[in-house]
Amino acid sequence: MIKAIVGANWGDEGKGKITDMLAQEADIIVRFQGGANAGHTIVNDYGKFALHTLPSGVFYDHTTSVIGNGVALNIPVFFKEYQDIVDRGVPAPKILISDRAQIVMPYHILFDKYEEERLAGKSFGSTKSGIAPFYSDKYAKIGFQVSELFDEESLKEKVVRVCETKNVLLEHLYHKPLLNPDELMDELHEYRKMVEPYVADVSLYLWNAIKEGKEILLEGQLGSLKDPDHGIYPMVTSSSTLAAYGAIGAGLPPYEIKKIITVCKAYSSAVGAGAFVSEIFGEEADELRRRGGDGGEYGATTGRPRRMGWFDCVASKYGCRIQGTTDVAFTVLDVLGYLDEIPVCVGYDIDGKVITDFPTTVELEKAKPVLEVLPGWKSDIRGIKNYEDLPENCRRYIEFVEEHIGFPITMISNGPGRKDIIYRNK
């Protein structure tokens, strides 16, 4: 069976923890989109890890970790991460990299940086991992698939051709040093050596795995609201963050994705620019940020403080719907135990009209949150295993959210570890 684990919000919902947890029962974990621009933080028996490109199943002996064709593959970052986990005592993971995955080129990272500098105050808040230039080139059909590394002649011809166009921009738009095709070829030869042992026809491998009845997890990065089509465009990422894209980014039949587990955090956080209706500021935000996640809400890739907000039913209802949710995993609930009262955003007021269906970005920019305040539970819920043992106000909070988003919350995460989970039959 194939299950997708995806985010309902702006990312950082705790998908890594849920994937790591469900990977116990899985054979294959697949990344199908995104790149090294966001991270998952995972706490397990080996320690605490921030992964950017490795799938969150790499900590188990019995799993195979797969990089699908939809990923923006930064080869040196990938292998550094691989080496880091092995150095920290994790058994060398089994890895497959799609021969159709495209490569983040060194110049993609430069262009990302130069463009952010050029836009200055109007920038998108990019992590400068080269993701937007990478996907632009992919769709402009001047990207490089992993398979192309293995045909020297055509590779050289294409590198020369691509450098020509890139150099026009470098010289006249950015006023930066030009690319040298020979140096780039040397780098690509290094990349080739690194990936060679792992390259595979991933979609065929997965097709056969489905036939053999294997358990496959698709691990999404970021969340619904960062999807380029359905998110808060243009403050989005450059590849689809939706479970549906799992079929494309891994080369699978869409009808095989039977379960879509949408991870939804018990409060909101976001990185980068863009409308964030339930955002809070000042001391109130600082306290939630300090207490949030596991050791504070700071970016796993950049270390930047995340923007904080109350739970947003409007955004989350939409985020779950657009994913095609079958199950909601409601995470980081333990963090809210310090609050006397917990505001929840239940509607958006746009020019005096209250809506509960998430609007397009132009409308969203005008939205003011309509808040409802719920009583807190004022206790530590970590370690609780049964739903009935949660404090009454905590269950009220969960059930309130469930009713407003309209999708069943079947898992509740009450701590960062693998075992901090409450299953709920719905």
Q: Pick from 6, 36, 43, 409 the residue near ligand GDP by CB under 6 A.
A: 43
Residue 7 annotated as lining a ligand binding site:
no
Q: Is 334 in the site for ligand GDP (CB under 6 A)?
A: yes
The one-letter amino acid at 326: T
Answer yes or no: are the C-beta atoms of 48 and 294 closer than 8 Å. Answer: yes
Tokens matching residue 403 = 């009713």
Active site residue 12: yes
HEC assignment per residue over 175-199 = CCCCCCHHHHHHHHHHHHHHHHHHE
Closer to ligand GDP by Cβ: residue 143 or 316 = 316
Stretch that binds ligand GDP, among 94-102, 175-183, 194-202, 331-339 (CB under 6 A): 331-339
Q: Contact at 8 Å (CB) between 414 and 421?
A: yes
Shortest approach of ligand GDP to residue 241 CB, angstroms? 11
Cα 19 to Cα 133, 336, 418: the distances in Å are 28, 23, 9
Q: Does 141 appear as a known binding residue?
A: yes
Q: Angle, nearest 10°, between helix axes 181-195 and 75-87?
A: 40
Whole-number Å distance between alpha carbons of 301 and 304: 8
Longest dimension (CA), the chain: 68
Residue among 31 and 166 whose Cβ is closer to ligand GDP: 31
User: Does 12 engage in binding with ligand GDP (CB under 6 A)?
Assistant: yes
List all residues 6 or more positions away from 372 whose beta carbon is below 8 Å from its beta carbon. 343, 344, 346
3-class secondary structure, 166: helix
Binding of residue 238 to ligand GDP (CB under 6 A): no
- 425 annotated to bind ligand: no
> Shortest distance, CB of residue 334 to ligand GDP, whole angstroms?
5
Q: How far apart are CA 5 and CA 148, in angstroms?
A: 31
Which residues within the stretch 287-306 sit at the binding site for ligand GDP (CB under 6 A)? 293-294, 300
Catalytic residue at 52?
Answer: no
Which one of 9-17, 119-127, 341-349, 372-380 is the stretch in contact with ligand GDP (CB under 6 A)? 9-17
Identify the active-site residue in 20, 27, 40, 45: 40
Q: Which is nearer to ligand GDP, 13 or 112 (CB)?
A: 13
Question: Which of 14, 35, 93, 343 is close enough to bind ligand GDP by CB under 6 A?
Answer: 14
Give the pair of three-digit tokens for residue 116: 């952010």
Q: Which is nearer to ligand GDP, 109 or 336 (CB)?
A: 336
Contact range with ligand GDP by CB under 6 A, out of 107-115, 193-201, 317-325, 409-417: 409-417
For residue 118, the SS3 value is helix
Q: Which residues bind ligand GDP (CB under 6 A)?
A: 7, 11-17, 38-41, 43, 293-294, 300, 331-332, 334-335, 413-416, 420
